[in-house]
Chains A and B, each alone.
Chain A
């Protein structure tokens, strides 16, 4: 039996009066690729951010690789285990930093010595040659930026990747390249993924199970297999499935 990579129990996050996450529970197994779908504003990013310590959770518990975390405090050990790729490739990398600086920073923080070799390997792994090493991030296309963001997340050799809409800002051909890249990395390193996407096609391609969120709650957790066979219970899940087939003009 495989162990649990990450478990979230009864987490509550509020912003002033507004309850963004309302007792959310989620278990992700080691080596699993777990998807999160749900409507805009349902709390998907907030959930990943709460795990990463970027949003404080008021109650509930978080366990990662057997260690418990609370509030927003995360130690170095946590970031060696968990890394995050953000929703917006334009906002997540500092535009006036070179790729080299962006990749060096996490290595320096965690006291790695063989930085040159690691940076070269990381660039190679995401399909960007060493020619990109001294470019500024504002000189990169959206797809290239997302590759750098992934390289930066992988460079510390984490066990778990939190991926917030990693391809929604990219066109179909670049999306396919990035998804292939992520799958390869997962295979090579036996990674665990938690991946948010509003595209059920992407989730069913990448994940084994998924949670459906609505208004700050997980309303259903199903396997992709069950989704494909339409074996689920929530009306909202059905709506998502129908919607993924495209626009239909009524009347």
Chain B
């Protein structure tokens, strides 16, 4: 079976006054109907990789790749229009800053309905029911109340789940989830992961899960890519994260505080110049 997504030698760079910033420097991977994790430190290019796949890179940036293919469609030569039609419907991305991705002056329920109706012709009644059902699916306690709230009236974790609901309401085949659960408490986090997990298993969705939480990624995904300075430095089967070879990955695993281990101060990463080579 051909993969859902093929990425070969993806590069993203930004021209700035002080020269080019190479955010992504030759990333390659394929994705089937599975859960792929991407971990890596802040600024390593995780979000820009996801955005390039989605067609959400800022206009002034330069993107090149040997291949960027989604289910037979060449994304590099697709028109703006084609990509817009795909977005939301066939592929969706849960952006990292939910507060910025929600419209601050529109009630939450209305925003979900609008997303749905951009891509499907459904009646107002049906749209409302599906929006409420989606809020319930992401474990929002009283969907009817939250439906009418504005983004500033919900908690950090609720905002994240609302974004997830909005991205899932059309049933995409590819979902890129960029730190989708970082503001959630652990029990809700697991419930949300359970929802994503079900979508992969039952609907055959492909999932790219971007996170800095190694423990979570290793327990949830099938494979993990470790990024550092715009490159993939290591690919691991999740079950084997502890066997990581790259010193960056090993350092990351070592600096997590865990219950019952009292290490004061916590070990921190000593970054090496050769990791960026």
Using a CB–CB cutoff of 8 Å, the interface residues on chain A facing chain B are 15, 18, 37-42, 45, 87-88, 90-91, 141-143, 165, 168-177, 179-180, 183-184, 198-202, 204-206, 227-228, 236, 239-241, 243-250
Contacts and interface: CB of A to CB of B under 8 A. Distances in A.
Interface of B: 40-43, 97, 99-100, 141, 145, 153-158, 161, 179, 182-190, 193-194, 197, 212-216, 218-220, 251-252, 255-260, 262, 264-269
Nearest to B160: A40
A227 B42 CA distance: 32
Contacts of A245: 215, 219
Contacts, number: 139
5 contacts: A40-B158, A87-B156, A176-B268, A202-B257, A240-B185
Nearest to A45: B155
Given A18-B145, A204-B259, A247 B41 contact: no
Nearest to B44: A171
Which of B141, B158, B258, B267 has the most chain A CB within a 10 Å cutoff?
B258
| Residue among B185, B219, B256, B268 having the largest count of chain A Cβ atoms under 10 Å | B185
Residue of A37, A40, A165, A244 with most partner-chain B CB within 10 A: A40
Contact of A174 (B41, B99, B154): B41
A45 B186 CA distance: 16
A172 B44 CA distance: 13
B186 A199 contact: yes
A183 B183 contact: no
B218 A246 contact: yes
Given A177-B268, A246-B216, A248-B219, A228 B41 contact: no
Given A45-B155, A247-B220, A184 B42 contact: no
Given A168-B182, A173-B269, A184-B265, 17 more contacts: A37-B185, A39-B188, A40-B185, A87-B183, A143-B42, A165-B156, A170-B42, A170-B212, A171-B252, A174-B42, A176-B256, A176-B266, A205-B264, A205-B266, A240-B186, A240-B187, A243-B190
Q: 7 closest A-B pairs (Cβ-Cβ)?
A: A40-B157, A246-B219, A171-B212, A205-B257, A198-B185, A243-B186, A176-B255
Contacts of B251: 173
Nearest to B221: A247
Contacts of A87: 156, 183
Contacts of B145: 18
Contacts of B156: 40, 45, 87-88, 165
